[in-house]
Amino acid sequence: MKKIFLILYVSIITMQLWAQKSNSISNVQFKIKLKQESFSAFAPITKIKTTNGKTKKIETGLESMNNLNEQFQVENLEALFLQSDKFAARHIKHGLHLWYMLTIDSVSTEQILQIIAAYSTNPNVEIAEPVILKSPIEPVVKSKLVGGMKRSGDEGFPNDVLFSKQWGLKNNRSVGADIDVQRAWAIQKGDPSVIVAVIDGGVDYRHQDLAASMWKNDAEAKGIAGVDDDNNGFVDDIHGWNFKDNKSEISPVDHGTHVAGVIAAVSNNSKGIAGIAGGDGSENGVKIMSCQIFGNDFFDIPGGYEQAFIYAADNGAVIALNSWGETKDGEYGQSVLDAIDYFIENAGYDENNNPVGPMQGGLVVFAAGNNSTEKPTYPAFYKILLR
Ligand SMILES: [Ca+2]
Ligand SMILES: [Ca+2]
Ligand SMILES: [Ca+2]
């Protein structure tokens, strides 16, 4: 399996010059993590003040937090992570149940930082942090390099019509410009037991070069529409989940589809490109689970990032592929890192901690960005990731 990791790791290196959008944090939402000892008394309910009939009052069972909620006119307070009966024990072990997202009326950046500071000093709060906006890492330079030049002995594989343009995989003109993929393919071309979660824009799961590589949740595919057939908390999640709109239908997005194609476009099918782990022509490459966090508009979806890692781990993915980053250099959301830690520790295990799938423990890959900066950009800078 290490060979698969290497193949995917190298695939990230091949991604070209990238840029990131300007720094920013949400002006309407922020996150808190309760202290464990405060959780038993925490019981958030929303009341509507009768004085004017409009102002919401979020009561929590914790007096000092009620006061903060009232002072800053908190409009909504809800769990950041979906509660799961099946995986409750390991969710609680990782403290996922302690995270909440709070929503207020839009304020200035300076004001929301002051509000977050006030929550940080509350005796019931372990962490209060902003929602740092994220953006996909996008190509900004087109290469004129060419590739696909086969060596003697390579004849016949792969036969994909666009392989000659995949200079990042195979290139005999510019030394070091490729990943010399055919040497890797001599060892391993992919493995359908490996499920790769593409946490990105939605993957075009009907695409002629991707349809056969999509992960399929059989219980839902063969189940009843509108029913959560596998009782995983997500209704009709056949190929993944659309966290952007919180629904089952995946909206195809160029960026996510591109990333999925690099990994697992069906190889040797005479169509399109060859995926790096797209199999040998028998549709036996790795499988793609689409965890959609971006749309074509690339707006940030607070909360979906964290939840995507949990969904992926709890539903069989063992590799999480990410081509996005925080837009604020050097800063990160601890909730995102907690979700990454969860994936790394729990992927490949069932709810009873029994090994399932091709490997135990998940591998998280992030694009490091390529904007010629020495500044750390998270989550790629997180020390336990491949990047
Ligand atoms: Ca389901
Ligand atoms: Ca269903
Ligand atoms: Ca192909």
Ligand (nearest to CA of 278): 3
Tens of pLDDT, residue by residue over 158-176, are 999 999 888 889 887 777 7
Q: How far is the CA of 289 from the centre of ligand 2 (A)?
A: 17
The HSE-up count of residue 281 (CA atoms within 13 Å, CB side) is 9
Q: What mean pLDDT comes out for the span 358-384?
A: 84
The pLDDT assigned to 12 comes to 36
Contacts for 299 with CB less than 8 Å, ≥ 6 apart: none
Q: Which residue did the predictor score with more confidence, 385 or 157?
A: 157
Share of residues in the chain with pLDDT > 90 (%): 64
Average pLDDT on 256-280 reads 96
How far apart CA 143 and CA 160 sit, in angstroms, is: 20
The answer to whether 56 and 47 have CB atoms below 8 angstroms apart is yes
Q: What is the pLDDT of residue 5?
A: 38
Q: Which ligand is nearest to the CA of 281?
A: 3
Tell me: pLDDT of 387 over 90.
no
Q: Is the pLDDT of residue 331 over 90?
A: no
Range from 30-34, 50-54, 334-338 carrying the lowest mean pLDDT: 50-54
Nearest by Cα to 308 from 277, 335, 278, 276: 335
Whether the predicted pLDDT of 351 surpasses 60: yes
54 and 46 Cβ atoms separated by less than 8 Å: no
Query: Which one of the ligands is nearest to 230 CA?
Result: 1
Q: Report the 10 Å Cβ neighbour count for 38.
A: 19
Q: Is the pLDDT of residue 379 over 90?
A: no
Mean pLDDT, residues 139-146 taken together: 62
Question: Which of 108, 123, 93, 105 shows the shortest CA–CA distance to 338?
Answer: 93
From the CA of 322, how far away is ligand 3's center (Å)?
22
Comparing 65 with 329, the larger pLDDT belongs to: 65
pLDDT tens per residue, range 72-131? 999 999 999 998 899 999 999 999 999 999 999 999 999 999 999 999 999 999 999 999
Task: Starting from the CA of residue 221, give the closest ligand.
Answer: 2
Element (H, E) at 31: strand 25-34
Identify the burial level of 9 via C-beta atoms within 10 angstroms of its C-beta, where 0-12 means exposed, 13-18 middle and 19 or more buried.
middle
Rounded-to-integer distance, Cα 7 and Cα 166, Å: 15
Q: Read off the DSSP letter of residue 386.
A: B
10 has a pLDDT exceeding 60: no
Range 4-31 average pLDDT? 50
pLDDT digits (tens, 9 = 90+) for 284-308: 999 999 999 988 776 656 668 999 9
221 or 25, which is more confident? 221
Among 133-137, 264-268, 346-350, the minimum mean pLDDT is found in 133-137
Mean per-residue pLDDT for 334-346? 96
Cα atoms in the 13 Å half-sphere on the side-chain side of 110: 0
Residue (of 173, 148, 178) closest to 163 by Cα position: 148
- Cα(241) to ligand 2 centroid in Å equals 13
Which amino acid is residue 172, in one-letter code? N
259 alpha carbon – ligand 3 mean position (Å): 14
The ligand whose atoms approach the alpha carbon of 222 most closely is 2
Higher pLDDT, 329 or 301: 329
Tell me if 214 sits within 8 A of 290, measured CB to CB: yes
Distance 180 CA to ligand 3 centre (A): 18
Range among 3-7, 48-52, 131-135, 381-385 with highest mean pLDDT value: 131-135
What pLDDT is stored for residue 7 in this prediction? 35
Domain made up of 2-22+136-366: CATH architecture:
3-Layer(aba) Sandwich (3.40)
Q: Nearest CA to 235 among 221, 222, 245, 220?
A: 220
**pLDDT band at residue 11 using 50, 70 and 90 as cut-offs:** very low
What is the per-residue pLDDT for 28? 94
- Residue 32's DSSP bridge partners are 100, 128
Quick: pLDDT tens for 205-260.
Answer: 999 999 999 999 999 999 999 999 999 999 999 999 999 999 999 999 999 999 99
> Minimum mean pLDDT among 1-5, 178-182, 325-329: which range?
1-5
The pair of structure tokens assigned to 187 is 């060892």
**H runs (alpha helix) in 16-99:** 36-39, 63-71, 88-93
**5 or 240, greater pLDDT:** 240
Residues 114, 101: Cα–Cα separation, whole Å: 17
Provide the β-strand partners of residue 200. Answer: 292
Q: Calculate the alpha carbon distances from 358 to 185, 188, 192, 319, 363 in Å.
A: 19, 14, 10, 11, 12
Say if residue 64 is exposed, middle or buried (CB neighbours under 10 Å; 0-12, 13-18, 19+): middle
Closest listed ligand to the CA of 84: 1
Topology of 25-132 in CATH? Alpha-Beta Plaits (3.30.70)
The domain segmentation of the chain, as residue ranges, is 2-22+136-366, 25-132
25 or 257: which leads in pLDDT: 257
